[in-house]
């Protein structure tokens, strides 16, 4: 069964190849995608030499318990924020055998948005030892489209760090 389109499969393959060239392991920390990024990577045969683990941290309790996201970060900035995404990526790095991680947290919709945090807003972070990059996007479309675009962007960030 093929769960991902050719664009996601190609991007996941590029991430895996970039990690292999450096001998790196990868991990994901996902909220709004619920494991789709890890799923995209593991859809590719042979990915077990790169993928260490995926954290699905949909609740704040999971973010704190599995990734060591500080409660104060969540209280001050909320789950959907750059500081939370950065803490998730860094927490995934600290709580895995990975050399590179990516984290996503956002509002996939159709509900749950606000003026400050509209439906389609996703915060991203990717981390490797000593370096964390972050980004955010507001994607158009329904829940499936937002999640699809999120997976593609996250894979791109992972690849960028892995390629150095």
Whether the predicted model's global pTM rises above the 0.95 cut: yes
131 phi and psi angles, rounded to 5 deg: -145, 130
Q: Residue 88: what pLDDT? A: 98
Pairing verdict, β 100-106 and 51-56: unpaired
Q: Residue 35: what pLDDT? A: 98
Query: What's the alpha-carbon Rg for the chain, to the nearest Å?
Result: 15
DSSP state string for 82-131:
HHHHHHHHHHHHHTSS-SEEEEEEE--SSS---SSS-TTEEEEEEEETTE
Q: In what order do the strands lie in the sheet with 121-128?
A: 51-56, 26-30, 100-106, 121-128, 131-138
pLDDT digits (tens, 9 = 90+) for 121-155: 999 999 999 899 999 999 999 999 999 999 999 99
pLDDT digits (tens, 9 = 90+) for 66-118: 999 999 999 999 999 999 999 999 999 999 999 999 999 999 999 999 999 99
User: Domain 6-163, what architecture?
Assistant: Alpha-Beta Complex (3.90)
Q: Locate the domains of the chain by residue range.
A: 6-163
71 token code pair: 């409660």
Between the two ends of the chain, the Cα-to-Cα distance in Å is 33
Tell me how far apart the alpha carbons of residues 157 and 75 are, in angstroms, rounded to a whole number: 27
Q: Is the pLDDT of residue 1 over 70?
A: no
Half-sphere exposure of 1 (CA within 13 A, CB side): 2
């Amino acid at each position: 069964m093929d769960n991902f389109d050719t664009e996601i499969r190609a991007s996941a393959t590029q991430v895996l190849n970039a990690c292999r060239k450096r001998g790196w392991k990868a991990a994901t920390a996902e909220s709004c995608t619920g494991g789709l990024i890890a799923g995209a990577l593991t859809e590719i045969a042979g990915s077990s030499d790169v993928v260490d683990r995926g954290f699905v941290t949909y609740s704040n309790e999971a973010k704190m318990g599995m990734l060591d996201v500080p409660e104060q970060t969540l209280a001050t900035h909320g789950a959907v924020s750059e500081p939370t995404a950065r803490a998730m990526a860094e927490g995934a790095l600290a709580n895995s055998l990975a050399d590179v991680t990516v984290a996503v947290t956002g509002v996939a919709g159709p509900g749950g948005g606000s003026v400050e945090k509209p439906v389609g807003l996703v915060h991203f972070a990717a981390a490797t030892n000593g370096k964390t990059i972050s980004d955010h996007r507001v994607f158009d479309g329904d829940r499936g489209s937002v999640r699809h675009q999120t997976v593609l962007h996250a894979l791109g960030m992972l690849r960028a760090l892995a390629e150095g």
